[in-house]
Amino acid sequence: MKEEVYCYTCGNPRGDLTEWRCKSCGGAYTLEHDNLFSQSKIINSRFNMWRYADALSPSIRENPVTLGEGCTPLINPITPNIHFKLEYVMPTASFKDRGSSAVVSYVRSLMKRKKIRGVVEDSSGNAGASITAYSSFLGIECRVYVPKGSVGHKVKQIEQLGGRVEEVDGSREDAAKKAQEAKDPYLYIGHAWSPYFIEGIKTLAYEVVEQLKWSIPEVIYLPAASGTLLLGVIYGYKTLLNSGVIEKCPKIVAVQQQEVSTIHDTFYGLPSHRSTYSGIADALNVKNPPRLNEIITELRKVGGEVKTVRRSEIIRAARELGLMGMHVEYSAAVAYAAFRKKLEDFIYSDTEAVIILTGSGLKSI
């Protein structure tokens, strides 16, 4: 089975298996393999994302590191055509567990030929907690660099799971720079850079299609910051399309908060707000996503859109979701905040929509 890792920007192949960015242009790597999706090869005895192992890259599928992530609920509290995907119903309470399971499985495959004592990650909280959990399960150390002032509950979750938290003065990007200084026997596996993290997110697309009895929604609303969720969903649906499972990709609507809207501004050619401002949705305060060019390119290929929402709209959306029984953090509520502006259009039609809710509200109490 063929598996290739190369730079999305310049096309140069990855050299060393531990490289996390292109040595030629500094771009992010992307992953391609020839595994197509086949309904007949779903492992029905597995009630997690690894039921789709046959459609994942060869280097991670042989001996996966899993805590039972995936197979999250898809519910319809409003009308039958409006679906909420509860990605916060996960081992560490966020969608990041799909990506963490995949990237730590890749680390396990590397350990056969290279001494790795631990991994290093940069995060505002959710990814750090997630990668820590899977690293602890594998039995290796995890160091997480976070911006000083990160949400306390998320930092405590990292520590409770066995991670070593390193606070960094400055922004989210400053924390990333410190993490990227990691040296042997520690391996930097930053989720925003790792193509294997995105590989794990692809299973979300597979899961939604299976839950909808092999049909696709007309539109999917999801929050966007570093773009791993967005790209994983797009690449997942592209795999389904190339495999002949579906006839077209759904429309993707990426949602950002107004205070930090780099993807939105770039997508529409607007002056960027790359300032010191941060928004209420702490997990979305990423001002310089490393995959920005890839995000814009792939979103345009599938005819997607980018929306922004105000602080007051996010708070109201979170409250409404709570009244429907879904307790999510503000970073998850942004998707519904944008969708609710079109709510009546969907209520009075048969158009299928999926809103992805990414993180539990328990993380930010």
What CATH number is associated with residue 317?
3.40.50.1100
Query: Distance (Å, rounded) from C-alpha 120 to C-alpha 246?
Result: 38
The predicted-structure confidence for 84-135, as pLDDT tens digits, reads as follows 999 999 999 999 999 999 999 999 999 999 999 999 999 878 999 999 999 9
Boundary residue ending a domain (127, 156, 188): 188
pLDDT category, 276, cuts 50, 70, 90? low
82 and 110 in a single domain? The answer is no
**Residue 108: helix, strand or coil by DSSP?**
helix
Q: What percent of the chain has pLDDT over 70?
A: 98
In a domain, 318, yes or no: yes
Alpha-helix residue ranges (DSSP H) falling in 111-227: 126-138, 152-160, 172-179, 195-211
Pairing outcome for strands 29-33 and 74-75 = unpaired
The predicted-structure confidence for 255-266, as pLDDT tens digits, reads as follows 999 999 999 999
Query: Is a pLDDT exceeding 90 seen at residue 153?
Result: no
C-alpha distances out from residue 310 to 124, 261, 344, Å: 21, 11, 20
Number of domains in the chain: 3
The predicted-structure confidence for 30-77, as pLDDT tens digits, reads as follows 999 999 999 999 999 999 999 999 999 999 998 999 999 999 999 999
Query: Is a pLDDT exceeding 90 seen at residue 278?
Result: no
In a domain, 145, yes or no: yes
Structure token digits, residue 28: 């992010």
123 and 181 in a single domain? The answer is yes
The predicted-structure confidence for 59-72, as pLDDT tens digits, reads as follows 999 899 999 999 99
Range of the domain at 20: 3-46
Looking at residue 256, its pLDDT comes to 98
pLDDT category, 272, cuts 50, 70, 90? confident
Query: Is a pLDDT exceeding 90 seen at residue 274?
Result: no
Query: Distance (Å, rounded) from C-alpha 84 to C-alpha 87?
Result: 9
DSSP 54-73: GGS-HHHHSS---SS-----
The predicted-structure confidence for 219-238, as pLDDT tens digits, reads as follows 999 999 999 999 999 999 99
Q: Which residues, in sequence order, are CB contacts of 40 under 8 Å at separation 6+?
A: none
167 and 214 in a single domain? The answer is no
Average pLDDT taken over every residue of the chain: 95
The predicted-structure confidence for 164-194, as pLDDT tens digits, reads as follows 999 999 888 889 999 999 999 999 999 999 9
